[in-house]
A and B are shown apart, each in its own frame.
Chain A
Amino acid sequence: MKKKFKLIDLDCANCAAKMEEAIKKIDGVTDASVSFMTQKMMIEADDAVFDQVVEEAVKVIAKVEPDCQVVLK
């Protein structure tokens, strides 16, 4: 499954790159991208673990940039 999320207050391009790298390392993630310009995150992961992956990604993001929020729809 592939899904996009909006990010609020993603203020640093370097952080976006770090997030992307960290999210790609989460188990079950086949592809991920964090775009500083569009303030969007894309996660592609196995359907079975998708929700856990997203939860994990939110944690990773909070670690890298505490002010940045993920809009979960």
Chain B
Amino acid sequence: MDRFTPKQKKELQQIGISFVLFVILMVSEHAGLFPDTLGGTVTELLLYLVPYFIVGHDVVRKCLIGIRNRQLFDESFLMTLATVGAFGCREFGEAVAVMLFYQVGEFFQSYAVGKSRGSIADLMSMAADFANREAEDGSIEVIDPDDIEVGDILVIKPGEKIPTDGVVIEGSGLVNTSALTGESLPRPVAVGEQVISGCINGDSLLRVRAEKEFDDCTVSQILELVEEASSRKSVTENFITRFARWYTPTVVIAAVILAFLPPLISGSFAAEFGEWVLRACTFLVISCPCALVISVPLAFFGGIGAASRNGVLVKGSNYLELLSELDTVVSDKTGTLTEGRFKVAAVEAAEGYAAEDIVRFAAAAESGSTHPIAAAIIEACDDPIAQSKIKDVKTAAGKGITATAGEDHITVGNRGFLETEGIKIPDIDTEVSGTNCYVAKNGKYIGTIIVADMPKAGVKEAISGMLEAGVKNIVMLTGDSGKVAGAVAKELGISDYRAELLPQDKVSAVEELLDAMRKKAGGNDADRKRGRLAFIGDGINDAPVLSVADVGIAMGSLGSDAAIEAADVVIMDDDIAKIPAVMKTARKTLSISRQNIVFALFVKFACLLLGALGIANMWVAVFADVGVAVICILNSMRMLEKQE
């Protein structure tokens, strides 16, 4: 029974005892043990009051305190009023039953909510509970992470959580970042490198110098954001709050009217009043909006939790809602869709030469250069020529380079540069687009190395995933030339791109798109009706664009405070495929909340109608109240399940 808290155990006992007594009384009543005299009725009432108070004393107590504090219309008040009304109409059995089942429902409700709180707490358990601080004399002291000061030396043993952000000063190994990024592949760390709080140390011992206090470290920031996320409410949640505000008073007023008006009209007030009071009590039981008030925020909370477990931080329920209805996705190119650095994309060898040799000679000539293209060629060379053999390096800035490697004279550069050196280059026809580097040996052309900023792995799939998830329009923004942009867009399956943009042009490009969407929606409140736009960037130099978009998504932001600050949705690692995944989560959240709203409202209004007609009795009403609440909560709890 450890699944229950002491309070829940006590409630269970009360429910059990009360239920047994209730059954005994019902059986006795049907057996005719209570004669229809004044004495018999009083005895019956007193006996029924025993299980009533056993199970409902708390509710009655809260109701009395509520009356004293002038807090009417709360659940306890309504339930007490309804059951007292039933007692007044000599429906003792129903009065006890309503209270009993109300408490059973409340119990399930608190159990379900407690369970979801528990699973959210698990989700949030990425912060370390303790830290090992090394004193100057080398002794180790276990301290609360809150007490860590910047500059403290912390010892992190194998399998322990890293308590705060810091720099490794001794040891190397692998750390597991999955709690933060959802990425299961461990990340290598070595001396001088940053480690981030919340990661789990692998098999080696690390000594780390704390760089931040616990309150400022990555994990604390993330936890704070997720907790605060529920205070940025979605349109759906605000609707529920507004609805709850008028629903309860309206139903209560309706109940009062229902109790008095029909018997007054019919003329035989005394004979019919009791019946109408019972119907009014049915109304009171249905009047609590709890099913919606709990289950809708719970679904959003679960959705935000599911996203953060996947390494995506959604900073508010409202953003989750926007993600579910994205119409346009605008993405930065460099560093977001592409690697952000040059790589050798292809090598075209002239006849009689091997690709490796071309790269090898080019790398030799470029070996002293720091140009990004040179770096890409050097990186691609597996078997470099020894530095000692390379001499006479001459650089023509922005054009090319010449050098002597061993016996050979090497020329590397653009077409114009080689041609001024008197080297003839044939026309090259490749599918790959990028920057062409022509290579010649001893005055003879030997091949071309094509260097390009390559799309990241998985980007193409992510783009088609977004289109499948309902995005209609994907636009790529870049500062690169139209030719390069066009080729990348084509390769990735992006139909629309804007090239040669300066950083400030990106903001106006997004604003233009928003304007176009407003025009398309038309009307006075075009801003509300238009589709939603998300911008994906690296979060470092595109903060203004992130804030112009409806949803600003920053990628690869683990440990970057600025990005976490500027964006609405933060993808902790570099995986763009998480965008369609989080859109799916958002959709599921929204569809669960809608199911709950429709289901709860339908059942409640149906029961109100049937109750007014005298068809639905109090038993049905109790189901409409707590039964619906439990079903809705269970539905919302689906958001907490582990998802693919």
Contacts and interface: CB of A to CB of B under 8 A. Distances in A.
Interface in A20-73: 33, 35-40, 42, 63-64, 66-67
Given A12-B75, A66-B62, A17 B230 contact: no
A14 B231 contact: no
Given A35-B230, A36-B297, 16 more contacts: A13-B294, A14-B74, A14-B289, A15-B74, A17-B244, A17-B293, A18-B74, A36-B294, A37-B113, A37-B117, A37-B297, A37-B298, A38-B227, A42-B228, A66-B62, A67-B62
Interface string B91-129: 000000000000000000010010011001000000000
A13 B231 contact: no
Nearest to A16: B293
B231 A42 contact: yes
B288 interface: yes
B278 to A, nearest CB: 25
SS class of chain A's interface: helix, strand, loop or mixed?
Answer: mixed
A14 B75 contact: yes
Contacts of B7: 9
Interface in B539-568: none
Contacts of A13: 290, 293-294, 297
Shortest 7 CB-CB contacts between residues of A and residues of B: A33-B231, A13-B294, A13-B293, A63-B69, A66-B65, A37-B301, A14-B293
Contact of B110 (A11, A17, A33, A35): A11
Interface of B: 7, 62, 65-66, 69, 71, 74-75, 110, 113, 116-117, 120, 227-228, 230-231, 241, 244, 288-290, 293-294, 297-298, 301
Contacts of B298: 37
DSSP majority for the B interface?
helix
A11 B58 CA distance: 13
A35 B237 CA distance: 13
A31 B66 CA distance: 26
A12 B66 CA distance: 14
A17 B74 CA distance: 12
Contact of A39 (B74, B117, B231, B293): B117
B107 to A, nearest CB: 11
Nearest to A31: B231
Given A11-B110, A64-B71, A66-B65, A40 B227 contact: yes
A42 B294 CA distance: 19
Nearest to B70: A63
A52 B305 CA distance: 35
Contacts of A36: 294, 297
A14 B71 contact: no
Given A14-B75, A14-B288, A67-B62, A38 B230 contact: yes
A52 B615 CA distance: 53
A63 B75 contact: no
B290 A14 contact: yes
A17 B65 CA distance: 19
A52 to B, nearest CB: 20
